[in-house]
Structure 1
Amino acid sequence: MRSTTVPPGTPCPAPRAGEPPLHRLEIAGPDAPPFAAGSFDEMGPLSRADLPHRHTFYEIVHVTAGSGTHVVDLARWPVRPARLAVILPGQIHCWEDQRGLDGTLALFTEDFLVDHPGDHRLLRRLAATCWFDLDAEDDLRTGRLMADLAAEHRQRTPGYETVLRALLHVLVVRTVRLAGTAEETGPDREAGPAEAAGRPPVLAEAFARLTARPETAAWSVRECAERLGVTPGHLTQAVRAATGRSPGRLLIEARVYRAQRLLAHTDLPVGQVAARVGITDPAYFCRFFRRETGISPGDWRKHHSGHHQSIEAPGARA
């Protein structure tokens, strides 16, 4: 997964014309760990970017000063001290109307979680909430952890990679406690396909991760089941048991959500948006989109694509 990192100063173009830029993590050299930490100023101007963009890496942000609005996919979050945010690879986000924004960021790719692979799952659950308010004690403890991460990354004394991974794991687990989901912290690993097949909640989560990938936009339930190593019937049973909904319905929702993001954050024509979500007929896409959202793609874009307008989906939970 070294394609998730680049040398300093490498341009970050959009992988496909019309889509938001994809930022890769800048590292000092081929042997450097895929991790960076420091203040907004130390991380550079892209850390406060006001144009929609995506990352190949995770980002944890501890805000200690300033104000503004953080737009993540289709939700808007007020920015103020003391708050902590978790942003996943691939999420479209930007900062609006930021004034005096400051704090510490930790940036890292999936490769960096090798010592604690279960943290992938925890980070995804944290990203569902995205922003967390910190009381005075939590703010102080989080600030110390973030400062230690930044110092270890800056000084790079012997053994610093091991220390960074340990500190990051502590930060993730403590943030999970803030979210009130401490029961999700174990076991500290991710299940393989065979084990996932025998545990409906784990299989359902693997299915959710799969459908979040852009390249799976046009996949069927059968194709997803084959990728996960189970039968379509078993996948349907497991997903319904864990979520109360069928995998077919979740695939439709994932397709609609990706279309909403593209309409809100890009200038792609509606026909190209349709193609990006696996629908070759633009007219059918318009009917499909209206059926699922109650509004046409054009009207959605008109209401949601303005830089200072709300882009939160009607009825969506922030």
Structure 2
Amino acid sequence: MENGHGAVRQLRYLPAVGSAYGVEVLDFAALRAMDPRGRRARPQRPDFHVLALVRAGGGAHEADFRAYGLGEGSAVWIRPGMVHRWSDVDTCDGPLILFRPGFLAGFTAAEAATPACWQLDRRRLSLALLAADHLRHEHDAAVRAPALASPGLLAHLLAALLLRTLPAAPAAPDTADGAGDVFRAYRAAVEEHFADWRHVADYARALGHDVRTLTRATRAAAGTGAKTFLDQRVLLEAKRLLAHTDLPVGACARRLGFGDTGNFTTFFRRQTGLPPAAWRKAYRG
């Protein structure tokens, strides 16, 4: 398991034979058939996206320490690196679309504001299911007749599905001053360097902006300042390590770039109100 997550299954993107287009369309029935031992109910961490729509049935899902109920009209978006589990999808029916990171480069900013689970009304669900069905038919045609395959067409159909499915205004606003582009660059840099760069000034220098510009763009896109956005990303990874591994607190601190365990403890307590060891015990208890 990467990052020492011994209790978490690391899921790699391994498409079925003949389906190497960067996207694959399954459904909940196929998920259950591929997993007769029920490993889907244990924590897992994919390196790819999963978009799921619940056409009928109900159940439960957990993503990064939040539990969600599932029912008709539920939409789920599991992003790469999320620790999640399908707590109960034994009666769920609907499509699951798997796709590689970067398959749709223009949707990276939407990930910051989109929840892991939200609800569609019946009209929006019907339109989203039509879009998913269109994508499935084109994907199946590409698998059966490779001469018909068009990754570009599949990408456009996936983009249409996401636009139909995502909550309103999920992405950073592309204002005249380019704030949306600034935030996208900052978010990508945070994802790459959060364990090494602890100050917004580090990102500002690397991206060629000043701290005020990053703060303004992040507040417009994510509703919080650049420093808080960075701290929340570090905190999320800290919780993942504490919850899903048996690494000592000091080892968790080192993985997150803290040279001193005391500094990590101070940071964690300031964010959660508990020291790391106490938070781990409360979570597991």
Q: Which amino acid aligns with 1:59?
A: V
**How far 1:148 sits from its partner (Å)?**
2.5
**How far 1:228 sits from its partner (Å)?**
1.7
Change (3 A) 1:185 1:282: closer
The equivalent of 1:229 in structure 2 is 208
Q: Secondary structure at the match of 1:181?
A: coil
Contact 1:106/1:149 (CA < 8 Å) preserved in 2? no
Return the match for 1:277 from 247, 253, 256. Answer: 256
Return the match for 2:195 from 192, 217, 231. Answer: 217
Q: Secondary structure at the match of 2:259?
A: coil
**How far 1:42 sits from its partner (Å)?**
2.9
Change (3 A) 1:227 1:31: farther
Instruction: Render the CA deviation track for 1:187-235: whole Å, top value 9, x for unaligned.
Output: 7xxx9xxx9xx5334323432332234x422303233123323344654
Contact 2:172/2:180 (CA < 8 Å) preserved in 1? no
**How far 1:107 sits from its partner (Å)?**
0.6
The equivalent of 2:246 in structure 1 is 267
Instruction: Render the CA deviation track for 1:153-203: whole Å, top value 9, x for unaligned.
Output: 223140443332222111111123xx2228x5987xxx9xxx9xx533432
Q: Secondary structure at the match of 1:170?
A: helix
Q: Distance in 1 between matches of 2:149 and 2:126?
A: 26
Change (3 A) 1:169 1:61: same
Give the 5 Å matches for 1:21-170: 21-28=9-16, 32-43=20-31, 44-45=34-35, 49-113=40-104, 117-125=105-113, 128-156=114-142, 157=145, 158-170=148-160
Q: Distance in 1 between matches of 2:173 and 2:235?
A: 32
Q: Distance in 2 between matches of 1:51 and 1:135?
A: 30
Q: Distance in 2 between matches of 1:94 and 1:104?
A: 17
**How far 1:59 sits from its partner (Å)?**
1.0
RMSD: 3.1
Q: Secondary structure at the match of 1:180?
A: coil
Q: How many residues align?
A: 276
Q: Distance in 1 between matches of 2:129 and 2:172?
A: 22
TM-score, structure 2 normalization: 0.82
Q: Secondary structure at the match of 1:25?
A: coil
Unaligned runs of 5+ in 1: 1-13, 307-318
TM-score, structure 1 normalization: 0.74
Change (3 A) 1:252 1:82: closer
Q: Secondary structure at the match of 2:43?
A: coil
Change (3 A) 1:200 1:42: same
**How far 1:291 sits from its partner (Å)?**
2.4
**How far 1:124 sits from its partner (Å)?**
4.3
The equivalent of 1:207 in structure 2 is 186
Q: Distance in 1 between matches of 2:159 and 2:11?
A: 24
Q: Which amino acid aligns with 1:51?
A: R
**How far 1:123 sits from its partner (Å)?**
4.5
Contact 2:124/2:165 (CA < 8 Å) preserved in 1? no
**How far 1:62 sits from its partner (Å)?**
0.9
Give the 5 Å matches for 1:271-310: 271-305=250-284
Give the 5 Å matches for 1:241-256: 246-256=225-235
**How far 1:106 sits from its partner (Å)?**
0.4
Unaligned runs of 5+ in 2: none
Q: Distance in 1 between matches of 2:195 and 2:139?
A: 38
* 1:15 aligns to 2:5 (yes or no): no
Q: Which amino acid aligns with 1:136?
A: R
Q: Distance in 1 between matches of 2:50 and 2:183?
A: 25
The equivalent of 1:315 in structure 2 is none
Q: Distance in 1 between matches of 2:128 and 2:224?
A: 37
Instruction: Render the CA deviation track for 1:21-42: whole Å, top value 9, x for unaligned.
Output: 3212112569921111111343
